[in-house]
Amino acid sequence: MSGCAIVPAYDAALSVADVVRSLVRLWPEPRAVIVVDDGSRDDTARLAEEAGAIVLRHGENRGKGAALRTAFWFAHDQGFQTAVTIDADGQHPPAEALRLLHSDAPKEALVLGIRDLVKAGAPRPNQLSNRISNYFLSHFAKTPLADTQCGLRRYPIAATLAAGAGADGYAYEAEIILRAKASGIPVVEVPIEVIYPPEEERISHFHVVRDPARIIHRIVATLVDTRYMSRPPRQLTVPPRTPRARPSPRPGASALSQSSAE
**Domain residue ranges in the chain:** 3-258
In this prediction, residue 151 carries a pLDDT of 93
| DSSP string computed for 30-72 | TT-EEEEEES-SSSHHHHHHHTT-EEEEESS---HHHHHHHHH
User: Strand, helix or coil at 251?
Assistant: coil
117/37: higher pLDDT? 37
133/221: higher pLDDT? 133
In this prediction, residue 116 carries a pLDDT of 83
The class that CATH gives domain 3-258 is alpha beta
Give the rounded percent of residues in the chain with a pLDDT score beyond 70. 74
Contacting residues for 192 by C-beta, under 8 A, at least 6 apart = 92, 96, 99, 100, 113, 114, 115, 150, 152
Q: Which of 42-56, 161-175, 232-246 has the lowest mean pLDDT?
A: 232-246
Q: Where residue 38 falls among pLDDT bands split at 50, 70, 90?
A: very high
Radius of gyration of the chain (CA): 17
Q: What is the pTM of this model?
A: 0.81
